[in-house]
Amino acid sequence: MFNKIIKKSIKFIVSLIVIFSFTLASAKKVFAIDEENIEVLAPSAILIEPKTGKIIYEKNSHEVRCCASITKVMTMILVMEAVDSGKISLSDVVSTSEHAASMGGSDIWLKSGETMSVDELIKATMIASANDAAVALAEYISGSEDIFVSEMNKKARELSMNDTVFKNCNGLDEEGHVTSAYDVALMSRELIKHKKIFDYTLIWMDYLRAGKTQLVNTNKLLKSYKGITGLKTGTTSKAGSCITATATRGNLSLNAVVLGGANGKERFKDAATLLDFGFANYNMLKPVINENIFEPVKVIDGMKPSVNIDAKVENEVLIQKGKERSIDSSLEIVSEVKAPVKIGQRLGRLVYKLNEEIIAEYDVIAVEEVENINFLSAFISLINKFFAI
């Protein structure tokens, strides 16, 4: 009887050890994720926070590669700019040229002379990745695809996309048509400044031609990833399977770019892995200001002896979870300023650091005007003080 109790006790203890070991291993898998443990199969990738442009993860991010229909991100930047400026309207009707109708690959089978609205062509471009629709939009905005592509390259230079050369507006394989994961992140960041684009990228299914043509979104993460907001997929034989994926949870937005994936399933897995890492490990934080640190600055030769100052902390910063209490702040202010002092005049800066790295800085400004002292103004001031006694 005693031996049976001993054996049962030993079995129970062994079971507890096994359960504890399994639980500990699982916990490590969930919580001990760091950048070195991220498994991204694609040859090139990057994860950024779009508001700040902060890079969270990168793998061969400047490697020059084909990007297929990710090209349409730049196409849509120019389209959205044309809409916002009033150059074109979403209700404008566009007639399809023979050139646009001749596109291969993904398309909506536009025929020469067929008409669609700008709104419908944007839907086709962003939901179904229609090459013919992208060209039709390009021609409508610039007169020809060649001129439009010149504008794409000009915009790329403005955005410091130094790894990029566009040869067409839809991403069909063409010699010398290249970009990088880093550059894709730059142009994705620019496109999502136009919030209207999400009206298209969040659509799973829609129809054109009075319901005769079905559009199904090429971004399958819309059905599987919490918080996904876009943005664009692309696939060709040279580019492989690519995606620029945007997602938002709470006040944190992220953009994962994957280029050269072996297949669609792999690119979606890689993008989800990167986004999961970002959401698990980072937060957006708005620095808290201690208003007591802002003492007036001495003014020389002014109508007032000093000027009040302040700093507007509007932008949030990206911070690794658990590091919030490690942030240090410092105030760098001039000891004195010569009149006149204008409202909004910069008098210093408020700096936030994490491990000696500057993570945010804000201008410290004058919040009032101080005029030069002169005989007349000094006399008036003296009179006013006399009668106030």
At residue 7, the pLDDT reads: 42
At residue 380, the pLDDT reads: 66
In the block, residue with structure tokens 């039709």: 136
pLDDT band at 386; cut points 50, 70, 90: low
d(CA 253, CA 201) in angstroms, rounded, equals 15
- Over residues 210-236, the pLDDT tens digits come to 999 999 999 999 999 999 999 999 999
Across the chain, mean pLDDT equals 89
| 154-to-68, 78, 125, 148 alpha-carbon distances in Å | 19, 11, 22, 10
Select the more confidently predicted residue: 30 or 142: 142
At residue 381, the pLDDT reads: 62
- Nearest CA among 92, 123, 93 for reference residue 108: 123
Residue 257: HSE in the Cβ half-sphere, 13 Å Cα cutoff? 33
- Over residues 48-92, the pLDDT tens digits come to 999 999 999 999 999 999 999 999 999 999 999 999 999 999 999
- Over residues 286-315, the pLDDT tens digits come to 887 877 789 999 999 998 999 999 998 878
Evaluate if residue 3 carries a pLDDT over 70.
no
Select the more confidently predicted residue: 163 or 382: 163
Q: Which two tokens stand for residue 321?
A: 């979870």
- Ordered DSSP codes for 287-313: PPP-GGG-PPEEEETBSSSEE-EEE--
pLDDT band at 382; cut points 50, 70, 90: low
- Ordered DSSP codes for 348-362: EEEEEEETTEEEEEE
At residue 325, the pLDDT reads: 86
Evaluate if residue 383 carries a pLDDT over 80.
no
Average pLDDT of 99-103? 97
Evaluate if residue 135 carries a pLDDT over 50.
yes
Evaluate if residue 30 carries a pLDDT over 50.
no
At residue 22, the pLDDT reads: 29
Query: Among 174-188, 241-255, 315-329, which is the least confidently predicted range?
Result: 315-329
Q: Where do the domains of the chain lie, and which CATH numbers do they carry? A: 35-281 (3.40.710.10), 291-388 (2.60.410.10)
- Over residues 319-367, the pLDDT tens digits come to 999 998 888 888 999 999 999 999 999 999 999 898 888 888 899 999 9
Q: Which residues are known catalytic residues? A: 69, 72, 129
Evaluate if residue 8 carries a pLDDT over 80.
no
d(CA 237, CA 239) in angstroms, rounded, equals 6
**Largest Cα–Cα separation, the chain:** 111
At residue 217, the pLDDT reads: 97
Average pLDDT of 261-283? 97
Select the more confidently predicted residue: 6 or 85: 85
At residue 213, the pLDDT reads: 97
Average pLDDT of 234-252? 97
At residue 289, the pLDDT reads: 80
Q: Which two tokens stand for residue 25?
A: 């291993």
- Nearest CA among 222, 250, 187, 242 for reference residue 50: 187
For residue 381, how far is the Cα from the chain centroid? 53
At residue 375, the pLDDT reads: 62
pLDDT band at 16; cut points 50, 70, 90: very low
pTM: 0.83
